[in-house]
Amino acid sequence: MSTLLAVDAGTTGVTSILFDADLRRVATAYSEFPQGFPQPGWVEHSAEEILAAVDATVAEVLDGREAPVALGITNQRETVFALERSSGRALGPGIVWQDRRTAERCRELKAAGHEQLVRRTTGLVLDPYFSGTKIEWMLRERDEVAAAARAGDIVFCTVDALLVRHLTGGESCATDPTNASRTMLYDIEARGWSSELCALFGVDVAWLPELVPSAGDFGTARLPNGAEVLIRGIAGDQQAALFGQGCWDEGTFKNTYGTGCFLLLNTGDRRVESEKGLLTTIAASRDGAPCFALEGSVFSGGLILQWLRDQLGVIDDAADSEAIARTVDDTAGVFLVPAFAGLGAPYWDADARAALLGLTRGSSRAHVVRAALEAIAFQCAEIVELLREETGLAVDELLVDGGAAANDFLMQAQADLARLTVLRGEDVESTARGAAALAGVGIGLWPDPGEAGVFRGGMERFEASLDDETRVARLAEWRAAVARVRS
């Protein structure tokens, strides 16, 4: 039986999944790794801890099994590491996508008039979310990084390139267009590194990984069991989820409810320029070639439930949130605006901070938990309205994946507040499936990825049931709550 291995290196852990040729799970392994918070607003990861989690999960999932025919990688985007190119040694911790340490630098660049160049070239906005200012900060603040750069012995890697270099034993150090398009150093029209933006951030193009198509040849991985496997598919986690949902054609649309929430609408060959804070980015079409997508990035999704569990002790498990939320009819006026790391689309307010609003003496744990779930749905509903406005597309069906997509209360709230039908497949983890599907395309396992059996399965439907007047009023209340936390 031909199998495909996917390694999903996410924000809080690594999942390795073995799929059969119909893209159905055969085996799964997961390993969490620590998060570093050295200062308020700073978030860091250890390259060694991520790679140890990769090795452990790959070894576990392949234990006693034949080698897969190909390997696909998907990963948290924007997070960046400085590596000594000759040895692969990490020159300090990686700076995570959630990190806000370069917010002031982004304001300086905006004031100097550089945002139009960034927007025109990359489709992004000037925000500390992306890799460019993170790399600039490393070069300025870390002596070892600066010394390696002067010696020409450095490479700045997003997590996918970090894994490629590790798995191939240093023979390859490559990234794909979907990840490159999140660095703020990639020209999405020319499909290559931008010399102009590299100069702006003080980066030599030679310090960046090789660019390879998403369903391309990234080298040969040497796995912990001694097997050698071709790496034939890579995409950043949100573009991998788009591919893994079968969103290969213009107008297809998905939302991943992970640590954050990321709504991607495939716009095909059409580059849509957002005037309302959405991002133009690169995705993968049916054959793995680059296409355009419009993205709304919500920084706080599932991490809201983690916060309720880990910092407040309000819930014992994220899965408990649904039952608790259903014990009350509404939030009794409570709103949670989860700007823990600032606000993403459409506000791009790095200095906003989270708040619980509308509390009274009668506010209970259930009201807070319900407000937390509704906050996820409100943020995504705002993005849906903007996608409709800026593309002219109906956007009436939403394919969902990610851990929080298993929450029925949240899915119904999403359908109601966004005025659409939510479609949920039997397996809500489509990110790894997308990486495996790209690897399958890369080795020619199917003429068309739609031939895989998983794409012919049924979908659970959540239909909008809220009347439009109530929906509009509730969104207005939400926007008023957001206005209270804006910087």
Query: 474-484 pLDDT, tens per residue?
Result: 999 999 999 99
Tell me which residue range forms the domain holding 203: 3-235
- Examine residue 472 and state whether it is found in any structural domain, yes or no: no
Q: Are 27 and 34 in contact (CB under 8 A)?
A: no
65-84 tens-digit pLDDT: 889 999 999 999 999 999 99
82-134 tens-digit pLDDT: 999 999 999 999 999 889 899 999 999 999 999 999 999 999 989 898 999 99
Number of domains the chain is built from: 1
CATH of the domain at 44: 3.30.420.40
- Examine residue 14 and state whether it is found in any structural domain, yes or no: yes
Q: How far is CA 66 from the centre of its chain?
A: 31
What integer is the mean pLDDT of 27-43? 91
**Integer Cα distance of 327 and 245 in angstroms:** 33
**Integer Cα distance of 251 and 394 in angstroms:** 8
- Examine residue 293 and state whether it is found in any structural domain, yes or no: no
- Examine residue 365 and state whether it is found in any structural domain, yes or no: no
- Examine residue 397 and state whether it is found in any structural domain, yes or no: no
- Examine residue 272 and state whether it is found in any structural domain, yes or no: no
Q: Quote the pLDDT of residue 129.
A: 87
- DSSP secondary-structure letter at 96? P
pLDDT classification of 227: cutoffs 50, 70, 90: confident
**Integer Cα distance of 412 and 408 in angstroms:** 6
412-438 tens-digit pLDDT: 999 999 999 999 988 777 899 999 999
Return the closest-CA partner of residue 375 out of 465, 479, 295. Answer: 479
How many CA atoms does the CB half-sphere of 61 hold within 13 Å? 30
267-313 tens-digit pLDDT: 999 998 888 888 899 999 999 999 999 999 888 888 899 899 999 89
308-329 tens-digit pLDDT: 999 989 888 888 899 999 999 9
144-169 tens-digit pLDDT: 999 999 999 999 999 999 999 999 99
Angle at 152 between CA 146 and CA 157, to 5 degrees: 75
Find the range with the poorest average confidence among 137-146, 198-207, 216-225.
216-225
Q: Quote the pLDDT of residue 6.
A: 96
- Examine residue 375 and state whether it is found in any structural domain, yes or no: no
What integer is the mean pLDDT of 361-369? 94
Q: Quote the pLDDT of residue 203.
A: 96
Q: Quote the pLDDT of residue 73.
A: 97
- Examine residue 425 and state whether it is found in any structural domain, yes or no: no
**Integer Cα distance of 406 and 98 in angstroms:** 24
